[in-house]
Structure 1
């Protein structure tokens, strides 16, 4: 019994000694800092694609023709032959003014003309008879002259009567107000039974031609000079554009539309810059057979400044700004992050931004994890890609237009 107790005490002393030795050995080891792994970012190589540079402006749509329909003769309005806001064709009958008086004037003028024509026949016969008698010395020269004067007077009376008949027919024609061209007619301003034309022309309605439709916009003086300089470098003159403005395509989009879905062509360029505003007025013309465009709308206008040229593209979402301007983060071959200032160009419809300086094809830019990429630090790279721009689909039946030569940027 005594031996067992001594053995247990010996074991306890041995355990204490071993624990103390282990703790002493542990205290002799040094603590070392282990750096965390580099952050992971997604990079993609800058791509180069053909891109057309555009000049984006603002303008307004306008009708190609707008005419007030007036009552030009006096009378009561007897009928309105269209529905307010109706699309009509050229020559369609729209209003009728009472015609009884004007038909009677026509009949009276016809009767007067017939009487004058009869008098002319009689005067012509009398002149011929006196002429024959004068040749045979049976009539005096005074009698012949008198017969000739009556004949000439009868001819003038016939001409006067014919003019009166023509005037009566014109006035009768004014009792029918017809559409001068295809268009949309506004609400009528006079009701059936109203007396119109009693103190001058009376406005009945307005007809507006909306197919095709114009878009008016202005170029600043600087933009005009840039275009002129660009054309000169391409071997063209501004007069070439004036002689054939329809060679330049124009695109527009409304406020609620995405992009520029309406395609047209340049139609008119003002001959001079407005010295007060410093702008040059330009007009485009667009097909509007579906009547999707209304006169007076605000429109975003886009003009091409040249043919498509190879251009570097990056996602617009990766571009940041600092005091020096826009910049992107790039990753070198050894996975070191750098901050590169760029000169950004036009934003493309698919969200890519043209880059005109600061990058070259093949550079790797950070497209995801930008907040984890610190300039000068290392990163772990995951490979990504930049989607190529989607080329616009041409409108069916539209011939490709020749773009304006490229103009230099400011």
Structure 2
């Protein structure tokens, strides 16, 4: 009996084991995915280039007449106004030259008065057949010669006054004057014009930069016409220095070279910027923001981080109406401050773009979309929010 019980026990155990429920695979629930529609904003597209500041005016102050430098009437590096006296060259000799020229002019005028009176008398006598023709001709020649002497004396006086004026070197415009190159007491202008210093006008100030031929063609396509000089001056430009955030200095386009340099494939552009505080000095390296079109146009923006790329090009992941992930091919444009990228083609305003980038969104898989947001770009990026 005990032997039979030992045989039945394994059979009962096997039977009980066969009665357990069968194990089945339970798929995980769809993952939660953050999605948002593209940000719709009005964008002014621009190109960022580099260039340098250039003085609006730069003039070398030179001694145009010979003499000893008598005085320096400014402090090196100080701002001066137009017409301010900067240097004075000894004037004694040049004042004497003016007096001499004035005396010669007075003498020539006196001679002319006498010769004109004699000519009038001889002309009357000739009509009365009292004087000979030769006498009349001599009187006429004397009058004409004296007239020429007066004109010559007037020219000499003008030259003498001009040379006297050259003894005073004045500021031709408002600006900063560099350090003096000649000391008081030195002889200047003895053989050639002697450079005394340089005056630089800084307000306003130019910014010059080179633009590629392709960028120029893009701008022309955006503007859809060739602009006049007046229209060019209405195109805004913004610049920033190496140590500045963004582009705090605003100006406008001032000049576009009429030809492209065949060696570099670039064209020279110049902008004009107000500089009342003299913050910009000639030679500064600048970053320049150039608008590529007039007026803003509406664009779709997505975070640059959600854009992926493969051999076929760029794409983003979206979630359709059935909450299934799809891959959409796109074309992109400018990268904006705040990490946003303009999408020029392939995306619709109501497409739900996947913001989650942890690999949980797989094309063809079902997800649970959660509403997210795309932060707008920061202020000062040539962007205005669409109402």
TM-score by length of 2: 0.83
Greater shift, 278-287 or 29-38, is seen at 29-38
SS at match of 1:154: helix
Aligned with residue 348 of structure 2, among 360, 365, 370: 360
Displacement after TM superposition at 1:355 (Å)? 0.9
Q: Deviations over 1:55-77 (max 9, x none)?
A: 33333322222211111111111
1:338–1:258 distance in 2 versus 1, CA, 3 Å: farther
Aligned with residue 339 of structure 2, among 329, 348, 351: 351
Q: Deviations over 1:319-359 (max 9, x none)?
A: 34444444433334454444444322112234321111232
Give the structure 1 partner of residue 47 of structure 2: 55
Contact 2:60–2:199 (Cα < 8 Å) also in 1: yes
Displacement after TM superposition at 1:249 (Å)? 2.4
Q: Distance in 2 between matches of 1:338 and 1:156?
A: 98
Contact 1:242–1:269 (Cα < 8 Å) also in 2: no
SS at match of 1:69: strand
1:152–1:225 distance in 2 versus 1, CA, 3 Å: same
Give the structure 2 partner of residue 83 of structure 1: 75
Contact 1:42–1:369 (Cα < 8 Å) also in 2: no
SS at match of 1:346: strand
Q: Distance in 2 between matches of 1:206 and 1:274?
A: 31
Superposition pairs of residues 6-405 of structure 1, within 5 angstroms: 28=20, 38-232=30-224, 237-238=225-226, 240-241=227-228, 244-299=231-286, 300-368=288-356, 370-389=358-377, 392=380
Aligned pair count? Answer: 369
Q: Distance in 2 between matches of 1:242 and 1:272?
A: 15
Q: Distance in 1 between matches of 2:130 and 2:102?
A: 39
Q: Distance in 1 between matches of 2:27 and 2:291?
A: 55
Give the structure 1 partner of residue 6 of structure 2: none
Displacement after TM superposition at 1:113 (Å)? 1.5
Q: Distance in 2 between matches of 1:325 and 1:259?
A: 31
Q: Distance in 2 between matches of 1:342 and 1:84?
A: 61
1:94–1:253 distance in 2 versus 1, CA, 3 Å: same
Displacement after TM superposition at 1:189 (Å)? 1.4
1:124–1:279 distance in 2 versus 1, CA, 3 Å: same
Greater shift, 163-172 or 54-63, is seen at 54-63
Unmatched runs of 5 consecutive residues or more in structure 2: 1-12, 383-387
Contact 1:41–1:369 (Cα < 8 Å) also in 2: no
SS at match of 2:233: helix
Q: Distance in 2 between matches of 1:327 and 1:211?
A: 49
Q: Distance in 2 between matches of 1:293 and 1:179?
A: 21
SS at match of 1:73: coil
Contact 1:93–1:179 (Cα < 8 Å) also in 2: yes
